[in-house]
Structure 1
């Protein structure tokens, strides 16, 4: 007669089978109905086999009872799934706010009353009240109130930004201190927050190729394991008693559960995605992360990407007059001009707090310059040839300087009065201060860098030298850029393209990975695979380093999962593992994958901090304008 203890084990094991085993059995049944087997299939077969065999022995008077094995398998795998779920929760916790754009509610002011309304029902022009601690639901203008906003979810900057009447507030940022009344200007998918939300959904719903490969391997792995378990039982049946042969087969089922294999790619991908979005980067899926990690070539557009995209006065040559007087007279005339260079000259005078006089009888001559009378003297600003026609003589000291500046592709504006040219204004598109260090850091990561520009060769050469780029191509049309990026990259060694302008849209789409900077045109942002936050060019080394870290983590996880299964199944087949120990090893394997992936949550890269601090002074770094445009055009 069996001890009563065995009956108690059977009584207590039965509810465990229903409570803990129910979800696994349901999952395996649903998978079977869809025509595929999964990890729950192995767990269910293992637990049901141990429980069913024990029940048979219990009612037939057998002595081999394995209720403890069945329940411990379910307990350990339930614990493992709980820990896996905790890891996944950490992976998506940072991106949870980025999935709520359309579900956001706002306090709308109508006829002096506050009404709670869904964002989906709001319209441009409505006024909303945003209280301290609330997430700002729309892009808008502050009508009244004073506060500060945390825009880190959009820009990656942790510093709070002050907001007062007339300031722009962005959807997705968090109002911190005071109450604000905001007029809605953009909402939903028209906001940066809405675009990020859309990007998150697309990224989470489209697995990367390496993830699809892991899923495919797991799908064929389960039936193979079932076959190995059956063969194990058949082999051991002739060597040991049936109950021991069944235990060996059960150990194979339990230890080979491909949980770690299923976690290897998606967990690391989700954590990497969270890091990107935490810095304000919009990335279009895990596939982009994977591709970024493998690319070793990167090409940059110039204007607006490596440069500020606007001309500035970078140097003033003066003769028989002070620099202040030269700039003051030039700005006085240029404030009446609509030429693209005029704004840079006027801005330079304002930055120096110069009192710009208002000239008389101002006349703009298309393609040449502007002239007028200041203090009764004829004053002119423009091209050297035109200045000579106005009777303004070029000093000998300026002749060689003018020739050198123009031969290098820089734009020079002459300023003259009293029959003589008294100054030369050197204008250029300023190189962004973080570019030289950013380029150097990319090179240290093994990246080959190319500059593509429509400017003259002299300009491209000078820009590349200032930025630290060794290779460049000049005088390129948008179509030529597209053809070049395909040939330069190719199938075996693809390339990244970084740009911002309207004409960069096609080449960003043609590159293996197109990256748009935050101030890009709508077309560039739509065609890019990754969009950096505004003023986020310095993040590029961090972006590539993070993508490589995610890739390394996935490969490490997969190697561990495959290696573990190979060794563990071998041990189980040879009868060296008990089912309970096998379940413990399986749970431990999954935990190693989880913990290895969670290291990405703490991912930092000194390159970003280095770039943000140690930037080269922009005072003498410049890049040149396209083809030195004629004045007044």
Structure 2
């Protein structure tokens, strides 16, 4: 028989193999839940037969029956129990074996030892002709634990729903158009220049340009924007976005594995593979508690064997082992953390470290960079003051230095030169001087652009008239860039940057949540103060080098214990890495993104208050889960040790504990989505304004800026 699965034709020998393939090839959480359900079905059939005969034995139905019949009933129970124990207990035995090889004793050991004790004692009793067997106890304990694991797997599958496209990205395929043929290929085999067909409802697999077709796309997972974006011929498309209502033919602009989407997917997978501090603490507690529980179970059997028959003492010891299984403790943090990461990923926020959510929840101070973080990062060149040279030469030399830089001021200078039709001067040996500027060589002479500290370091004098003009511009809040060559400063370029429309609302919302804000910037005090006043930040530290920013952050940490840093530039890499929580905006430089533990989507500053809410909800859920799991275990263990819990009831109690942890964690799904500080139309207008500013400066065409 043939079936079409995931867009590909697959052949199967029978319908059963088709079902098994679909179960096994699904997401890990989904096929785990499906296999557990199959185990429950088979185990349930066997356990029902076992319980039916066991209940008959416990009732008066066999009173007066020939004693020779009972051994045969016990043998029948053994026959039913053996496959049930193998099917339901096999996964626990495998876990215990694999962990034992690595020198670890985990909760699976408690289940295996307890069930094995009941099963082996009952098997021995059958040989001895005893009237007491406990096959029903062994099987029902496994049934209840497997049912609990099934519900846990269902909960994990729901928790991974938001992460599904990220976790499945590495195995995605693309429809490559080769002449008249369309071939399905893994995305990793797609290279630049290939044509890819994307049908409505499919995820766009590569970055590229639309060659044919028109459609709306949803880029929320990349940009955080939930609105649809119209794409037509010539439009750029982003890997990871969803094609909504029309077929598109896309020419790939790069390798399928080199997209930002692929990088996000790898980062999320790596983050989920790490353990948060709370998870590591829970693991250590479980590692210590399991041997202690094993010892307690043994002591319980010894104690009760003095006053009860051995089989009664064995059941009490089994209850202790079963009820003390720390499954809920192991679930407490991972479930909540996965749900939190999934909620953030749904809105384009990338979490690189699972522990960042717990740390962010404790943060009471956020430090912000200025340019590109609180401001648009698309500065405008508003003036050029120069001596003995023309403005075209100034812009040619400046653009030659700055054209490859990712700094916001550098992009503005390069854009202004492009608008005037000026060809950048060929510049070699270009290198960035952190916290100072950039330097290189052109026409055999050294050339540099940056702040006054760079010029002082180089020993290049600044003419008095340019120095006075620079002081005047800085006093009015403008950013100033000195340009020099031939061991002398020849020009001062003045740039202006406006705060993001949502910055003030975001800072106010953070303050409502009890968070303080401070501004750490390399710009001069006047420019920093102007932006700080507009966005509502009172504490300012300006004129800081990257190392000075890091030291300032250390000083702030003394008064606030945990501090988060929000930045986007090359200079922010060290301080983002040093912060308790490093947060990079989506337009950040590669260094800022790589050193930050949390990356916001482009123009995602407005989401920061909501992210804090999610982090606090995750931490609150983790603490609630742990308190419940430990408290539940302690109370139940006390009852079991005093002989007040039968093993089957103990297993039900333990499964209930895990289920409650799962249900409590799933409450995170009900968290509200982020609400922007501005309505979408306003944010679109603000974005368009930034795009216009980034394209160049209209003022450059007039004589007002050509001061010489």
Q: Are the aligned partners of 2:479 and 2:523 in contact in 1 as well (CA < 8 Å)?
A: no
What is the alpha-carbon distance in structure 1 between the residues aligned to residue 315 and residue 242 of structure 2? 58
3-state SS of 1:20 partner: helix
> In structure 1, how many angstroms separate the alpha carbons of the residues matched to 2:516 and 2:586?
23
**Which of residues 652, 655, 667 in structure 2 aligns to 1:584?**
652
SS of alignment partner, residue 245 of structure 1: helix
Task: Look up the match of 1:137.
Answer: 205
Deviations 1:70-93 (A, max 9, x none): 111011011011111111112223
Corresponding residue of 1:166: 234
**C-alpha contact 1:478 1:506 (8 A) present in aligned 2:** yes
Alpha-carbon distance between aligned partners in 2 of 1:78 and 1:406, rounded to the nearest angstrom: 69
Does the Cα contact within 8 Å between 2:322 and 2:654 map onto a contact in 1? yes
Within a 5 Å distance, the mapping from 1:39-58 to structure 2 comes to: 39-58=107-126
What runs of 5+ residues in structure 2 fail to find an aligned partner? 1-66, 383-390, 399-411, 420-448, 450-464, 481-493, 691-699
Query: What is the CA-CA distance between 1:498 and the residue it aligns to?
Result: 0.8
Q: Give the whole-Å Cα distance in 1 for the aligned partners of 2:256 and 2:557.
A: 37
Contact 1:102 1:188 in 2 (8 A): no
Residue of structure 2 in register with 1:419 after alignment: none
- Give deviations 1:33-89, integer Å, cap 9, x for gaps: 332222111111111211222222233232222222111101101101111111111
Q: Give the aligned partner of residue 554 of structure 1.
A: 622
1:9 — aligned with what? 77
CA deviation after TM superposition for structure 1 residue 537, in Å: 0.7
Name 1:264's counterpart in structure 2: 332
Count residues with an aligned counterpart.
Answer: 540
Which of 232, 236, 242 in structure 1 is aligned with 2:310?
242
In 2, Cα distance between equivalents of 1:15 and 1:117: 43
How far residue 115 of structure 1 moved from its aligned partner, in angstroms, is 3.0
1:182 lines up with 2:250 in the alignment? yes
TM-score (norm 1): 0.79
What's the offset of the Cα at 1:341?
8.3
Q: 1:57 to 1:342 in 2, by over 3 A?
A: closer
Contact 2:359 2:562 in 1 (8 A): no
1:338-387 residue CA offsets vs partner (Å, 9 max, x unmatched):
8958989x99xxxxxxxxxxxxxxxxxxx9xxxxxxxxxxxxxxxxx99x
1:121-136 equivalence runs, <5 A: 121-136=189-204
Give the structure 2 partner of residue 76 of structure 1. Answer: 144
Alpha-carbon shift at residue 15 of structure 1 (Å) = 2.1
Aligned equivalents of 1:285, 1:342: Cα separation in 2: 36
The one of 102, 107, 121 equivalent to 2:175 is 107
Matched-pair contact (CA < 8 Å) for 1:109–1:128: yes
Alpha-carbon separation, structure 1, partners of 2:617 and 2:654: 25
What is the CA deviation profile of residues 133-168 of structure 1, one whole-angstrom value per residue up to 9, with x for unaligned ones? 222111001112111112122123222211101111
- Is the Cα–Cα contact under 8 Å of residues 430 and 618 in structure 1 kept in the other structure? no
Residue 288 (str. 1) matches residue 362 (str. 2): no
- Equivalent-residue separation in structure 1 for 2:475 and 2:82 (angstroms): 89
Work out whether 1:503 is the aligned partner of 2:571: yes
In structure 2, what is the Cα distance between the partners aligned to 1:96 and 1:146? 27
Mapped to 1, the partners of 2:414 and 2:249 lie a distance apart of 38
- Residues 150-203 of structure 1: CA distance to partner in whole angstroms, max 9, x if unpaired? 212212322221110111101111212222121111334431201111111210
- Of residues 609, 615, 626, the one that matches 2:675 is 609
> Structure 1 residue 532 and structure 2 residue 596: aligned?
no
1: CA distance, partners of 2:179 / 2:75: 74
CA distance in 2, matches of 1:566, 1:342: 67
Q: What's 2:562 paired with? A: 494
Alignment CA distance shift 1:523-1:265 (3 Å)? same
Calculate the aligned-residue CA RMSD, in Å: 3.3
Q: Distance in 1 between matches of 2:94 and 2:245?
A: 50
Aligned partners of 1:598, 1:508: CA distance in 2, in Å?
Answer: 32
What CA deviation, in whole Å up to 9, does each residue of 1:609-632 have, x standing for no partner?
A: 15244989989x99xxxxxx9945
Q: 1:200 to 1:427 in 2, by over 3 A?
A: closer
What SS does the aligned partner of 1:186 have? coil
CA distance in 2 between counterparts of 1:199 and 1:39 reads 30
Gapped runs of 5+ residues in structure 1?
315-332, 348-366, 368-384, 387-402, 413-425, 623-628
* SS of 2:544 mapped into structure 1: coil
CA contact (8 A) 2:188 2:257 kept: no
* Cα deviation code 1:108-154 (max 9, x no counterpart): 23344333333222221222222222221110011121111121221
- The answer to whether the Cα contact below 8 Å between 1:132 and 1:177 also exists between their aligned partners in 2 is yes
Change (3 A) 1:429 1:119: same
State the Cα deviation string for residues 298-336 of structure 1 (Å, max 9, x = none). Answer: 11111111111234699xxxxxxxxxxxxxxxxxx99x9
Does the 8 A contact of 1:290 with 1:547 survive in 2? yes
Q: Superposed, which structure 2 residues align to 1:448-459 within 5 Å?
A: 448-459=516-527
Shift, 1:487, TM fit:
2.4
* 2:639 match: 571
Say if 2:584 and 2:596, in contact at 8 Å, map to a contact too. yes
Aligned partner of 1:484 in structure 2 is 552
Q: CA deviation at 1:405?
A: 9.1
Contact 1:137-1:187 at 8 Å conserved across structures = no
Q: Pairwise mapping of residues 47-446 of structure 1 onto structure 2 (< 5 A)?
A: 47-311=115-379, 407-410=475-478, 428-446=496-514
TM-superposed deviation, 1:588: 0.1
- Kept in 2, the 8 Å contact 1:431–1:618? The answer is no
Instruction: Label 1:311 to 1:30 Cα distance change in 2 as closer, same or farther (>3 A).
Output: closer
- Aligned match for 2:86, one of 10, 13, 18: 18
Distance 1:64 1:511, change over 3 A: same
Offset of residue 225 of structure 1? 0.6
CA distance in 2, matches of 1:121, 1:599: 40
